[in-house]
Structure 1
Amino acid sequence: MLVEMTARTVYEGALFMRSMEMLSAFINIVLLGWLILARTKSRRAMLIGLAISAIAVLFHGIMEGMRWQMVPIYLITIIPIVILGVQSIFEPKERTGKGSRIRRILALSLAFLYGIIAVALPIVLPVFTFEKPAGPYSIGTVTYDWIDEQREETFTAEAGDKRELMVQIWYPAELQASGKREHYLSDAGPFAEGYSKLLNMPKALFTTFEHVRTHAVEHAAIATREPAYPVLLFSHGFSGHKNQNTFQIEQLVSEGYIVVGIDHTYSSMASVFADGRVAWLVPQDTDSADYLDQANEGWVEDVKFVLHQLEQLANHDPEERFTGRLDMEKVGMFGHSFGGATSTQMLMRDDRIKAAINMDGILYGKQRVPEGGLKKPFLLMSADHSLQIAQTIPDRQQAEMIERMLTRYEHVADGGNYWLIINNMDHTGFSDFYLISPLIERMAGIHLQQAHRIINDYSLDFFNHYLKQQPLQLLNQVGEHPDYTLKKG
């Protein structure tokens, strides 16, 4: 079973390898095999092998960037140099007999083992990519550092500190939009450090973030096909960040939505402000329902402030990008985990939010879903593992708290709303995180690509219907399916 899982992991991870990275690995593994198997190796052949290997590594470094996971591959490049050095000092001798054959077999075995490790390392920890967006638009993006002068920052000790939020907007761009694709994280260092501390794992495991690029082009011209585009706000979960659902955001934007991601400062993994300051995740009492109900108020206020800023941009954008292009009459919201709870609260409490999706978020917050439902379009997405999580928690007190919280789902589908339960899925699968390694995905027991496509298809169908008045394509197919169950109230 473990061998089968590892083999599948390596195969799927290979799909993430970058083209020059893959070419460099192939050339150097072939070079290693030739160095071991060839009985005679002329100086000219060695120099040619060295040149080809070095050129492949050089182009990979220039075009894609070098990373520590490829070090075993890079080291193969220097083997011809070592052999040439030895040959220049010692006269090569032809060796025959049983001893030389044993040494040859041993060398071949070690080379094979080394080759397996060299290839597996960049595959198990790949520079992951996002599926090409399916819609008719390219993607532009811009980031803002906004300060709410009306609110004091409660997570800092300095008197007079105001609430400061990093906000990223992704928007439809013309198909011919040109420019360099944006990094997944503009400054990946703090996130690698943050994940390392949170998960108690080596920081090196998370350095691949710095090489990951998206399909978005910074400051691209906004598409002119529509006079204005519906707006969707995205709220991450505790210790998440505004980019954590890029797999979903890019697909929605490509279909004609403007998506606004919010970093909830001090509750996100890290918020990197425009001047380089970093606001780190502050530990909070995430085991207390009372604390989380109250903490959600701060997130709701964050969203309300961002909505106000968007209204200002729609009226007058100093850069002229969004003036008149944000359709503030068609605003929806979606969020993961605590951000999903925030989306639900905003739907209940703010008339500007016309429809919302909660992705696996327990319904924390001051207001409860009333009997009869929300009276506004709502879709709850749940992982089947999450609905059973209380049964796996050894701490009985904590398990009972989770069970009590899950009862808040009782009326979510009332009044004609929807509840989508995805099979073989867990809480983290609703974000990009498992893309960091196919091995982690396999250990979690989920099929991430399939789950992400279900999330994307149903998110698009939901918002297309309730914000663009398009006919339903999927949400009208209520019932049990092989990969999910769809309920309607």
Structure 2
Amino acid sequence: MRTIEWFYLIFNVMMLVWLIGGRNKPRKWVWGGLVISAALLGIHGLVEGMRWPMIPAYLLTLVPVVVVITEVRRHQRVGVISEKGQRAVGSTASAARKSGRVRAIAASLLVLVYAAVAVGLPLLFPVFSFEKSTGPYGIGTVSYDWTDNSREELLTSTAGDQRELMVQIWYPTDPDAKGKTAPYVNDPAVYATAFNEVLQLPKLLFSSLGQVQTHAIQEASLSDAEAEYPVILFSHGQHGYENQNTFQVEQLVSQGYIVVGINHTYSSLVSVFPDGRVAQFESEGKEGFEQLQFSYMDKLNETWVKDAQFVLDEVEKLAANDPSGRFTGHMDLDNMGMFGHSFGGATTVQMLMDDPRLKAGMNMDGVLFGEKRIPAEGVGKPFLMMNADTTVAGTSVMSDEEIAAMGTTRPEAEKYYEEVYARYEPVTAGGNYWMELNNTKHLSFSDLYLISPILEWSQGVDAHKAQQLINDTTIDFFNHYLKGQPLQMDSNVGEHESYSLKKG
């Protein structure tokens, strides 16, 4: 929850308890509570923005008014009690006291339930935030709409369309840089709909997506603390998006890296272009297990590799002559790396074997789809494979119902995983690394589980713990291979409580 939300909510819950359970409440204190609550509500609305999970808390602001009106009406009903009435009082006093206690208990329970709802909804549907960056740099960001005129886009309905990609670049700034903070996504409604339609997740989970802020300042000046900064390319997963790993990107940038995120149009969750056009995910008519077949995915990966190569071409142009002047001469093209999640991780491996411009790479939980197989002697460049333990476990952790829902049988799924494991076999060859994270899922390598604790609980994962380990490892890896700093991973080879690490 956000800071002012917390203050507003705590004050209102405390005021509710006092108003319902307290005795001898001076009217001026009641009105004072109303004024403070209304003021906090106004500040919250102006600074943070109002949202639906806070509605029960918003209604608490009206409680003092209700109490005052109730008190006035009660006093108006008090009249002269007749002698007959006085005699009746004695005979019914015991029943009245008993009835009063019942009402008090019922009111207390109602207060507790309402307070739980008022607090629980914002916690279950939070405006999530990213950990404060640990490095010495601030973070700037700028987005580009790049078109590869050498390639025709085959998934549009208009003949002659060229391959068009949205690309976001994050870069180091001075730590005290000022400016407009970049939102997490530019069109929250479009993304919420895409999460619902593509990933089959309840739209309600994403209702506060538009209020999520990053630590990046839009179009801030590049820091001049260093002459050049290493460049790292990022490729998202199938159904992902260019900033799906903001938790990781911001930490890298704060350590002095320029990170370039690609949105792979029609394979991403959604692409939103500056002129308002929206490109939805295109399954090409394939669903479930059919969509995972190696024949299809290996072919699709060729498009992603060409996307990455094209983006590297454009990065080189920026380094040579950025029209804004921001990146000209400040990109260390001799020290470029790449990392990716899932299908983007597979793309990273293909790029390491195919593009000499890349010096090192990481694959986060990606099956090794692509045209080329890793040779027996290894990738030939520094490489780190990271996997969730549930991914490596394959069909052994999948129920028959889950396998059937994919549209296949257990024997077919087991045969599929035989190929998966065969492709993994030479991962560590040549002195490279393979890390397996315990108690994690495929999407632990993205921002998704930050959206709501409901997702964490349903999957049985600890998002922050996993992200901390991922970030520490990522920075250690690239600091060594792109900046020449000492490598800590070698001392961590072996079995640990939260992970295991192998070295070839």
TM-score bracket, shorter-length normalisation: over 0.9
Matched residue of 1:404: which SS? helix
Distance in 2 of aligned mates of 1:206 and 1:403: 37
Matched residue of 2:502: which SS? strand
Distance in 1 of aligned mates of 2:384 and 2:350: 13
What is the CA deviation profile of residues 54-78 of structure 1, one whole-angstrom value per residue up to 9, with x for unaligned ones?
A: 1111111111111111111011112
Matched residue of 1:115: which SS? helix
1:230 and 1:327 in contact (8 A); partners too: yes
Matched residue of 1:106: which SS? helix
Tell which deviates more after alignment, 309-318 or 122-131. Answer: 122-131
Q: Which residue of 1 aligns with 2:184?
A: 184
Q: 1:366 aligns with which of 358, 371, 377?
A: 371
- In the alignment, is residue 402 of structure 1 matched against residue 402 of structure 2? no
Question: After superposition, where does 1:286-365 map in structure 2 within 5 Å?
Answer: 286-365=291-370
Distance in 2 of aligned mates of 1:185 and 1:406: 36
2:183 and 2:210 in contact (8 A); partners too: yes
Question: After superposition, where does 1:106-255 map in structure 2 within 5 Å?
Answer: 106-255=106-255
Deviation at 1:147, TM superposition (A): 1.1
Q: 2:33 aligns with which of 49, 53, 60?
A: 49
Q: Which residue of 2 aligns with 1:262?
A: 262
Q: Which runs of 5+ in 1 are unaligned?
A: 1-16
Distance in 2 of aligned mates of 1:254 and 1:335: 19
Deviation at 1:287, TM superposition (A): 2.5
Distance in 1 of aligned mates of 2:48 and 2:418: 47
Distance in 2 of aligned mates of 1:29 and 1:400: 57
Tell which deviates more after alignment, 181-190 or 381-390. Answer: 181-190
Distance in 2 of aligned mates of 1:351 and 1:390: 36
What is the CA deviation profile of residues 169-223 of structure 1, one whole-angstrom value per residue up to 9, with x for unaligned ones?
A: 0001012211232111122211111112234343222122111111110111101
Deviation at 1:92, TM superposition (A): 5.2
Distance in 1 of aligned mates of 2:76 and 2:42: 31
- After superposition, the Cα gap between the structure-2 partners of 1:103 and 1:302, relative to the gap in structure 1 and judged at 3 Å, is same
What is the CA deviation profile of residues 364-409 of structure 1, one whole-angstrom value per residue up to 9, with x for unaligned ones?
A: 0000001010111110001111011322153322343133223200
Distance in 1 of aligned mates of 2:467 and 2:200: 27
- In the alignment, is residue 464 of structure 1 matched against residue 479 of structure 2? yes
Q: 2:11 aligns with which of 27, 33, 38?
A: 27
Matched residue of 2:20: which SS? helix
- After superposition, the Cα gap between the structure-2 partners of 1:247 and 1:227, relative to the gap in structure 1 and judged at 3 Å, is same
Q: Match of 1:421, as an amino acid?
A: E
Tell which deviates more after alignment, 325-334 or 193-202. Answer: 193-202
Matched residue of 2:46: which SS? helix
- After superposition, the Cα gap between the structure-2 partners of 1:101 and 1:332, relative to the gap in structure 1 and judged at 3 Å, is same
1:462 and 1:475 in contact (8 A); partners too: no
Q: 1:387 aligns with which of 360, 384, 392?
A: 392
Distance in 2 of aligned mates of 1:259 and 1:469: 18
2:205 and 2:452 in contact (8 A); partners too: no
Distance in 2 of aligned mates of 1:299 and 1:287: 16
Matched residue of 1:97: which SS? helix
Matched residue of 2:214: which SS? strand
1:393 and 1:399 in contact (8 A); partners too: no
Rg (Cα) greater in structure = 2
2:265 and 2:279 in contact (8 A); partners too: yes
Percent of aligned pairs sharing the same letter: 50
For the aligned residue pairs, the C-alpha RMSD in angstroms reads: 1.6
Distance in 2 of aligned mates of 1:467 and 1:75: 54
- In the alignment, is residue 68 of structure 1 matched against residue 83 of structure 2? no
TM-score, with structure 2 as normaliser = 0.91
- In the alignment, is residue 37 of structure 1 matched against residue 21 of structure 2? yes
- After superposition, the Cα gap between the structure-2 partners of 1:466 and 1:281, relative to the gap in structure 1 and judged at 3 Å, is same
Q: Which residue of 1 aligns with 2:84?
A: none
Matched residue of 1:81: which SS? helix
Q: Match of 1:129, as an amino acid?
A: S
Tell which deviates more after alignment, 247-256 or 35-44. Answer: 35-44
Tell which deviates more after alignment, 84-93 or 223-232. Answer: 84-93
Distance in 2 of aligned mates of 1:331 and 1:200: 36
1:390 and 1:400 in contact (8 A); partners too: no
- After superposition, the Cα gap between the structure-2 partners of 1:399 and 1:57, relative to the gap in structure 1 and judged at 3 Å, is farther
Matched residue of 1:192: which SS? helix
Q: Which runs of 5+ in 2 are unaligned?
A: 79-92, 401-408
- After superposition, the Cα gap between the structure-2 partners of 1:393 and 1:365, relative to the gap in structure 1 and judged at 3 Å, is farther
Q: Which residue of 2 aligns with 1:443?
A: 458
Deviation at 1:470, TM superposition (A): 1.4
TM-score, with structure 1 as normaliser = 0.93
2:435 and 2:501 in contact (8 A); partners too: yes
1:332 and 1:355 in contact (8 A); partners too: yes
